Amino acid sequence: MEAAIILVFVIGYLAITLEHNLKIDKLIPALVMMAICWALIALGLESFPNWFDSAKHSLVEGFAGFAPEEKMHLMEETLLHHLGKTAEILVFLLGAMTIVEIIDYFDGFSTIKNFVKTKKKTKILWLFGFLAFILSAIIDNLTATIVLISILQKIVKDRDIRIWYAGLIIIAANAGGAWSPIGDVTTTMLWIGKKVSTGHLMGYLLLPSFVCMAVPTLIASFLPVFKGDLEIEEVVEKRKSKYSAIMLYLGLGAIVFVPIFKTVTHLPPYVGMMLSLGVVAVFAEVYSNSKFSISSADSQASDAHAHHSPVHHSLSKIELPSILFFLGILMAVAALESLGILFGFAESLKEGMPMLGTELHHTGVSDLVMILLGVGSAVIDNVPLVAASLGMFSEPIDNELWHFVAFSAGTGGSMLIIGSAAGVVAMGMEKIDFFWYLKKISWLALVGFLLGCATFMVTRTWF
């Protein structure tokens, strides 16, 4: 039965990886894979020799001798445990997504366009690189990429130049997301799973992530495509809401407040995110009533929103397919973890791989394994890779292994355009060709990733 469960997982994983070839949204195989894996566990419960206790991160002693009722009760408890941990992540993401949509409702991100005061290509490259690096650490790398490419489309009219900027934005956004607990789904998983703390994550990864962003940007600034000045396209835009800047800074501040709230109260992060959402929603409702209470020159623009509460409107726009995908993949990985399969795989890695690279301090895991994890995240989704890592390794909070996992999984995906959510959304927004990216941008991402890894290996001894 274990072989059947592994087979189902592998087939589902392949279907997720080949999403674009099969033209099937990855949430579908994720949900089917999750349901079938747990169904097979329930049907074959009597035949399994081991059971993994996720709370204690160890195998349950004497599981094979348990009565059927005890085994079923243990399975139900384990399923509920994993559902609770997964729900923490999903509720957190729902709150963050809603705040971002509320900012967008008030055209808050249009404020960022005012930062662009130059026509020099290299200065614009560095400006967008830094914006992506900082913004992705606050609102996550996917949203930062959408916002910045949307702004880029209003500034750069030549698509052949714009896709070069988009490629470097992908690298910078993924690097920025790696050093913040709210910057990437994978770092959020590690943070909520009590594997990394905010202070240590930033301490370990800020410099490696900066190197991962800055070196490719520096190299790119010497390329012919970034020489000279841009022809800035003057666009007459619709009148912005007078609350744009206020809602931008309020929303970003509310999201940044969440790690502080967790540090002070020691409550799960989703509690702080719900508080932040509530505060932002109050201001959104007040400003919305003010905005639509009188007729003005922008009344036509207002009509689209006038019949909606800002919160209701924002909730209708969040990406539920992504939420369901995370549910499916995290619960499917939990099925493998519960049978002890991931635990056994980790032990074999520790025994077989150390001689191929320098060992991480106080662990039996090779640096090479972590680098390969980053390369793997460019080919397959980084969410299941990190979910598997959570089930495989039992190192304590803030062990350097978890920070290396966060860095590799977060930045390695930049090496292929399909290797990260930021890359996929940029591919869709600008119709970037897979092989163009592979030829023009991948080598820059690889250089940044390897130098970032080297920086991490040097600086980790400081903490």
According to the model, what pLDDT value does residue 219 have? 94
Local structure of 340: helix, strand or coil: coil
Q: Above 70 in pLDDT, residue 355?
A: no
Average pLDDT estimate for 236-240 = 55
Residue 359 has pLDDT above 60, yes or no: no
Cα–Cα distances (Å) from 390 to 200, 349, 393, in that order, read 18, 14, 6
44/159 same-domain check = no
Instruction: Write out pLDDT tens, residues 382-426.
Output: 777 787 787 777 788 888 889 999 999 889 889 988 778 788 778
Verify that 335 and 291 share a domain, yes or no.
no
The count of structural domains within the chain is 2
Return d(Cα 333, Cα 328) in angstroms, integer: 9
| Domain presence at residue 82 | no
428, part of any domain: no
Q: What is the pLDDT of residue 35?
A: 94
Q: Residue 149's domain spans which residues?
A: 89-313
Please indicate, yes or no, whether residues 332 and 306 belong to a single structural domain of this protein.
no
Model pLDDT, residue 268: 85
Q: Are residues 300 and 240 in the same domain?
A: yes
Nearest to 315 by CA among 3, 29, 162, 99: 99
Average pLDDT for residues 213-241, to the nearest whole number? 77
Task: Give residue-wise pLDDT tens across range 140-161.
Answer: 888 888 888 888 887 888 888 8
Q: Could you read off the pLDDT of 368-379 as tens digits, one per residue?
A: 888 888 888 887
- Do both 303 and 334 map to the same domain? no
Most confident of 137-141, 219-223, 242-246: 219-223
Identify the DSSP state of 120: B
Which of 262, 279, 313 finishes a domain?
313
Name the least confident of 140-144, 165-169, 189-193, 296-300: 296-300
Q: Are residues 263 and 132 in the same domain?
A: yes
Residues 444 and 408 in one domain: yes
> pLDDT-derived band of residue 23, with 50, 70 and 90 as boundaries?
confident
Residue 75 resides in a domain: no
Share of the chain above pLDDT 70, in %: 87
Instruction: With respect to residue 447, please indicate whether it lies within any of the assigned structural domains.
Output: yes
334 with 259, same domain: the answer is: no
| Residue 96 confidence (pLDDT) above 90 | no
Same domain membership, residue 126 and residue 24: no
How confident is the model at residue 350, as a pLDDT?
59
The CA distances from residue 51 to 8, 62, 74, 339, in Å, are: 19, 9, 9, 5
> In the structure, what pLDDT confidence band is assigned to residue 214 with cuts at 50, 70 and 90?
very high
Q: What's the longest Cα–Cα distance across the chain? A: 76
**Average pLDDT for the chain:** 82
Residues 57 and 94 in one domain: no
For residue range 61-85, what is the model confidence (pLDDT) as tens digits?
A: 788 788 888 888 888 888 998 899 8
413 within domain boundaries: yes
Does residue 192 lie in a domain region? Answer: yes
pLDDT confidence of residue 238: 55
Q: Which two tokens stand for residue 444?
A: 């820059």
Predicted pLDDT of residue 165: 92
Residue 281: how many CA atoms within 13 Å on its side-chain side?
16
Tell me, yes or no, whether 77 lies in a domain.
Answer: no
Asked if 413 contacts 441 with a C-beta cutoff of 8 angstroms, the reply is no
Residue 298 has pLDDT above 60, yes or no: no
Say whether both 120 and 61 belong to one domain.
Answer: no
Of 238-252, 399-413, 427-441, the one with minimum mean pLDDT is 238-252
State whether 59 and 134 are in the same domain. Answer: no
Q: Quote the Cα angle for 443-447-449, to 5°.
A: 110
Last residue in a domain, options 313, 335, 368: 313
Last residue of a domain, one of 279, 294, 313: 313
Q: Does 80 fall in a domain? A: no
- What confidence tens digit (pLDDT) does each residue in 112-122 have? 777 777 778 88
According to the model, what pLDDT value does residue 343 have?
Answer: 67
> How many angstroms from the chain centroid is the CA of residue 114?
27
Please report the pLDDT score of residue 303 as a whole number.
45
pLDDT above 90 covers what percent of the chain?
A: 19
For strands 52-53 and 58-59, give the pairing.
Answer: antiparallel
pLDDT at residue 309, rounded to an integer: 81
For tokens 């949430």, what's the residue? 27
pLDDT at 296: 41
Using 50, 70 and 90 to split pLDDT, how confident is the model at 435? confident
Examine the pLDDT at 259 and tell me if it is beyond 70.
Answer: yes
3-state secondary structure of 104: helix
